[in-house]
Amino acid sequence: MPAAAEGARESLQERVKDLPDRPGVYIMKDASGRVIYVGKASSLRNRVRSYFQSPEGLSGRTRALVGHIADFEYVVTDSEVEALILENTLIKRHRPRYNVRLRDDKTYPFIKVTLAEPFPRVIVTRRVDRDGSRYFGPYPNVSGMRDTLAFLKRLFPVRGCSKKITEESRERPCLNYHIGKCLGPCAGAITREAYAEIVKQIVLFLEGRQDRLVREMKRSMQAASDLLDFEAAAALRDRIRAMERVMERQKMVLESRQDIDVIGFARDEDGAEACVQVFFVRGGKLVGRERFFMANSDGTPDAEMAAAFIKQYYAAASFVPREIVVQAGLAADDAESVASWLSALRGSKVRITVPQRGEKKRLVDMVRDNARLGLEEARARAMRAAEMEEGALAELQETLELPRLPRRIEAFDISTIQGTDAVGSMVVFEGGRPLKSAYKRFKIKTVEGQDDFAMMREVVGRRCRRALHEGQRQRPATTAAPGGAGVACPPTESEEREAGAPDLPDGQRAEGAKCAQAQGALPDLILIDGGKGQLNAALEALRECGLAEKVPAAGLAKEQELVFLENRPDPIALPRDSKALFLLQRVRDEAHRFAVSYHRQLRTKRATLSMLEEIPGIGEKRIKALITAFRSVRAMREASVEDLAKVPGMTRSAAARVKEALGSSP
């Protein structure tokens, strides 16, 4: 170990001696100050000291972590349960490299039942707030969730609009009421009590308590029949039959009719990929299952991975059962605190068990087998996608006669309505997949009116000039990489993983990332959304920057999907089943989507500003604070006066004026 590194290690070891012997969270950082690991401990001193013991006593993964630790911080908490909650929050915030994490967990949606409203709605959301609503999820399988939601709305036609409806509302009902897709609370067609009963049935269904739901519906059907309300009884009969068809597909897996969650997982041979499967058993029946994938799981013991999943999943889960059955037991320093935390979430005691025999052991084995099959399926799907992407890139190179494989494609599009709020977009695909961290958005600055060609020239020109500036500022003095499209750079972190290379020092990795960014200024292909006119505008911008000879460009026109090139008088018509055409369409459509979403955002913001500026006492600072807090007029309209008053700079009287003005808006 170099003398400087040895000195830094000794300095950290000295600091460890001053740590308190109390529960808390420790935060490991690398030389650049980036958080690389977050952990909790019942004793900060003992836990952090264990990292700096003899390397022979550490796992390979921990040795790699320790090799990158340049600094650490800690937060003392009153209990280990508080430390667990803070640990989970910090992991979500920093997404450290060495923590095992639910992959893309921030994107999982929930079904939200807005119980705080007089006439609740059932909607999809990706944000969980403490607003009196019930949340069900998260649902990694979005299409399955939407199927469930569609089934619910067929059975229980609750309203889908966002109107403010009270018991006194008497509006003209919309078409959904007339075709039987809404109960018409806005028109007073249903009482609040009757509506609440239907919402209660929806909640029972989402909780997986279909048996109880059917019993209650049968009682309601009998009561309606006794009152000679045969129409209502017939409607309930149809709902019961639909529910019973769903229940027929549910498998009885526990004779004890318990409510449990069963967690099993599988990993590939090198441990780099991990799939976790959760089966939801309610009343002894298997009512649902979800599949998750874990990031950074290589070299992680089973106990640590099980604990990481439980902490991250149940932090957002809508329901915690009395018992959670797991494939691998949690480590001793995790088991007690995790169980205590889960018990606090549920409001009663929760057990975490590892069955050794019996029906629960058979159930765990079944879940683990499903996780293994899920992992194999995901791997096969990834291999097919990679083969298709490589084939599409090779076909594209051959068809367009490109000098090199178009591994990096940048696509541009313009979005405007009669020249107002004109914007441009740039999306990036690397290896046939979107690289969203490299997307760019542009406000048109130099073009007045509806001139798409001039706008395209401005956007491509700005991108090229920035690329040249970044290249001159960051590019190391080395020879060009093969193909002439860039320079030889140190590998980035993702390239390290793909190549299986050993970890680079953080400074060198950062240099590689910057260099790759500079290289990205010279893509292998620029794609323009449009025909010959848009392409010529882009080529003119490339020539002005001196890049026309280095960067090929093509245009893809809609409708007939013709490809235009600079030196060809006639466009190319690719076969409809061409992999290359499919890739170009994906890239073009993504650029269009990104441009349109930005244009819509600016229009909405302008409309919001105009609406808020008309409210007395609401000036520029308050408008900015309101937009920062709520993002949209709709969110402000749905917020209470108390929520609006909490915004910095707002008062209750100002919040009341905002609420009154927005409440009367269409």
| Helices within 137-269 (DSSP H only) | 142-155, 175-178, 192-206, 210-226, 230-248
Give residue 452's pLDDT: 84
Structure tokens belonging to residue 374: 């899920």
- In the DSSP assignment, the letter for residue 186 is G
* Pairwise CA distance, residues 287 & 280, whole Å: 6
Express each pLDDT in 464-515 by its tens digit: 888 887 765 554 433 333 333 333 344 444 333 333 333 333 333 344 444 4
Q: Which helix (H) or strand (E) holds 281?
A: strand 274-282
CATH number assigned to the domain covering 401-491+507-599: 3.30.420.340
Alpha-carbon radius of gyration of the chain: 29
| Among candidate residues 46, 98, 42, the one with its CA nearest the CA of residue 335 | 42
557 within 8 A of 571, measured Cβ to Cβ: yes
Fold of 614-663: DNA polymerase; domain 1 (1.10.150)
Domain boundaries, the chain: 3-99, 107-252, 260-300+323-333+343-377, 401-491+507-599, 614-663
β-bridge partners, 278: 263, 290
Domains 401-491+507-599 and 614-663 belong to one CATH topology: no
pLDDT of residue 335: 87
Which residue, 483, 485, 503, is CA-closest to 493?
Answer: 503
The Cα 469–Cα 378 span in angstroms is: 41
pTM of the predicted model, to two decimals? Answer: 0.65
CATH of domain 3-99: 3.40.1440.10
Instruction: Report the C-alpha gap between 107 and 126 in whole angstroms.
Output: 7
Other Cβ atoms less than 10 A from the Cβ of 559: the count is: 6
The DSSP call for residue 473 is: H
Question: Do residues 515 and 540 touch, judged by C-beta distance below 8 A?
Answer: no
How far apart CA 204 and CA 241 sit, in angstroms, is 16
- Judged on CB neighbours under 10 Å (0-12, 13-18, 19+), 500 is exposed
What burial class does residue 168 get, using C-beta atoms within 10 Å of its C-beta: 0-12 exposed, 13-18 middle, 19+ buried?
A: exposed
Task: Kindly state the tokens that stand for 438.
Answer: 């490299």
**CA gap 476, 511 in Å, rounded:** 9
For 398, the 3-state DSSP assignment is helix
Q: Establish how many alpha carbons lie within 13 A of residue 137's alpha carbon, considering only the half-sphere containing its beta carbon.
A: 27
Q: Which residues of the chain have pLDDT under 50?
A: 1-5, 475-520, 664-666
Contacts of 302 (CB under 8 A, 6+ apart): 265, 327, 328
Pairing of strands 525-529, 408-417: parallel
